[in-house]
Structure 1
């Protein structure tokens, strides 16, 4: 089997709906262009990640999950024109400590869980997905990935047995590194922006279409009390695993920066 056949089989077997939407049209135009260096306009490292995501989805290591969104939920995300009949998915976090939390859907059912056992040295966060099963009393759990946190140098993502440095998988951009970008399983580039109190995921192009937004918990002193939540646009449900995995990473970074600001302010080193 030559390289071209390997690529076709890889993409075709990964996610049939993604193959039909993104890859097949390109094959009809010029099948050999998939192998041409000039056909890829993304950075070289991200081009490699496209094949990686296809491998992971083909092996069943990364999947999209579908929840039943609430019709009454008021969201800051706007569905695209093609998804006007769909509704925003909201995952509620049991704790703002994203390295040890449970993500539940609108029905209160667990969808994802992150756990980080205490240990000296490098700490590891395991992200798992609850898989719905009618034949079992308890839903089985599948590991989505692991993050090994390094204070110096790149943290390490482990997905499907492959180890990826954060500097390659989620490279930093912008002033003070407040933007992180990655390539999704659909071949598109996405960006997480870290603000003072939240993080926002959008398509990294001129449209800046919003994909996901994190809301901190509120105490209800002003307005209604609510738990921390992650809103996800309906057209992004095909890469839920990846959204949750990268969200945990960037929100952990944002929280670290917030703690640093508070420490500086309390010691008289800040405004």
Structure 2
């Protein structure tokens, strides 16, 4: 069976067979905190006009290092227990299917391949292909005859391992934002969708940066209004940051490093909602910011400067591990990036 999907992220994709009929779909609501992907098997429709219905095959709850799998909405296990990687070989994931057979997903840079214990190929994903003189090919998951009886498990585990593959290999970013001029910045993902923006209103004498989350289509396909998720007051003596309606001194929330005055502005640490410590650092040349999970030294966001400033714009690469704190990441980035530019001498703010 050939299951074709159009989305670059299988966590939000419909899988269609050769006739164009939807066989499975995966849905992952966008939001802050733990995100859960639901994988659904479509029920046959008696007519094209009938609403599409289905039964839940499984769910993946994405967390910090402890992703969880739920089968048929019931039994819950850690992904690392059900599908352990072999030591440091994250590209090799083995699990036991409902038929009690042992199968292994092999993850390469551009595909996932499922093999049985005797090394027979059971399923393999194919990346999209572009052709100059013919129609481009969409990505698809090919399930061979040896996997028909466990196809639900194959699709369910594929959604998990393909996301792991893209995240670990660096091919997948949760989002890549494109910048407009400082102070009036729009963050646009790789699909061209505006997700966040910042503004420095004239009526506040350019001393306040407001961070908005762009309105998203709701169930009625109407765009909801923007939501204010943060605010920064640029005062000479005591700068303030507002998060979730709570105003704090910047230095108390984004704790600066101790040491020389020049070091103070190069590292700032903050605590996430779940207690995880994060650290923003500025590169030595003052041209980049990086955000890491402090105790794991795991890079989750990085500002990339363009090679050609006349043709390209800076991008903020945000990796999947940052999904649970996306709003907080954008708010703190608005501060540390402005601070970086002040150090660089590229921007001067009025001091009040």
Q: State the TM-score bracket (shorter-chain normalisation).
A: 0.5 to 0.7
In the other structure, the counterpart of 1:188 is 276
In the other structure, the counterpart of 1:147 is 232
Equivalent residue for 2:339, pick from 232, 253, 260: 253
CA distance in 1, matches of 2:185, 2:254: 22
1:122, 1:150 within 8 Å by CA — same for their partners in 2? no
Q: Which has the higher contact order (CA 8 A, sep 6+)?
A: 1
- Kindly name which structure, 1 or 2, has the bigger radius of gyration based on alpha carbons: 2
Q: CA, structure 1 residues 260+109, in 2 after alignment: closer, same or farther (shift >3 Å)?
A: closer
CA distance in 1, matches of 2:346, 2:314: 21
Q: CA, structure 1 residues 16+119, in 2 after alignment: closer, same or farther (shift >3 Å)?
A: closer
Q: CA, structure 1 residues 81+152, in 2 after alignment: closer, same or farther (shift >3 Å)?
A: farther
Larger CA deviation: 131-140 vs 163-172? 131-140
Offset of 1:20 from its aligned partner? Answer: 11
| Partner-residue secondary structure (3-state), 1:212 | strand
Backbone CA RMSD of aligned residues: 3.4
Equivalent residue for 2:209, pick from 104, 118, 125: 125
Offset of 1:16 from its aligned partner? Answer: 6.7
| Partner-residue secondary structure (3-state), 2:197 | strand
Structure 1 regions of 5+ residues with no counterpart? 1-13, 23-70, 73-79, 262-271
> Number of paired residues?
189
Matched, 1:240 2:326: yes
Q: CA, structure 1 residues 138+219, in 2 after alignment: closer, same or farther (shift >3 Å)?
A: same
Matched, 1:100 2:184: yes
CA distance in 2, matches of 1:94, 1:82: 26
1:122, 1:148 within 8 Å by CA — same for their partners in 2? no
TM-score relative to the length of structure 1: 0.60
Offset of 1:232 from its aligned partner? Answer: 0.9
Q: CA, structure 1 residues 227+169, in 2 after alignment: closer, same or farther (shift >3 Å)?
A: same
2:35, 2:324 within 8 Å by CA — same for their partners in 1? no
In the other structure, the counterpart of 2:164 is 83
Q: CA, structure 1 residues 252+94, in 2 after alignment: closer, same or farther (shift >3 Å)?
A: same
Deviation string for 1:186-236 (max 9, x for gaps)?
A: 21101000121000001112x311010001234268xxx432111111121
2:282, 2:289 within 8 Å by CA — same for their partners in 1? yes
Offset of 1:121 from its aligned partner? Answer: 6.0
2:215, 2:224 within 8 Å by CA — same for their partners in 1? yes
| Partner-residue secondary structure (3-state), 1:84 | helix
Matched, 1:219 2:305: no
Structure 2 regions of 5+ residues with no counterpart? 1-31, 37-60, 65-126, 129-160, 348-352
Deviation string for 1:95-124 (max 9, x for gaps)?
A: 241x21110111111100100013576711
Larger CA deviation: 88-97 vs 111-120? 88-97
Structure holding more helix per residue: 1
TM-score relative to the length of structure 2: 0.47
